[in-house]
Structure 1
Amino acid sequence: MAGFVNRENRVPYYQRMFQEGAKQHVRQWNQTARGRGMLRAYYGVFIVTMGGSMWMMGRMVLGHKTWWGK
């Protein structure tokens, strides 16, 4: 726990970085590699979820109540 208390204050660094990005019209979540990676994971889950929902909605309209069989 002592490492957390004596840690370097990174707030000024991130403040400068995000203010410079705002001048260049870069969205906040695209300014760091971590944000871009988290967005890729979010979009992947979103696409798979929406695709599965649309697939099953189409199957239900046709009267099938399972994913693949009759």
Structure 2
Amino acid sequence: MSYSSNRFVYRENRVPHYQRLFQKHDGLRQWHKTPRSKFMLYPYYAVLWGGFAGSMYMMGRMVMGHKTWFSKG
């Protein structure tokens, strides 16, 4: 067996690091604490609010009798 197949077994134990990170009382929510959080959350927020804005726009158009996004008819 080569070393590359045993990398998972012999790696550093990161549990104490993550316990310190997530149990620190710094006023942040758990999903905002990691360095990668902004790369995952900001696209999620954009899709969430974009979908909400689009549904509100189309709801207004449906109330006015228009059944498509752009046409007048």
Shorter-chain TM-score tier:
0.7 to 0.9
Q: Show structure 1 runs of 4+ deviating over 4 A.
A: none
Q: 1:45: how far off?
A: 0.5
Tell me the matched-pair count: 68
Q: TM-score, normalised by structure 2?
A: 0.77
- For 2:38, what is the secondary structure of its paired residue? helix
Distance across 1 between alignment mates of 2:47 and 2:8: 33
- Which residue matches 1:51? 53
- Calculate the aligned-residue CA RMSD, in Å: 1.6
Unaligned runs of 5+ in 1: none
Q: 1:39: how far off?
A: 1.6
Q: 1:44: how far off?
A: 0.5
- For 2:48, what is the secondary structure of its paired residue? helix
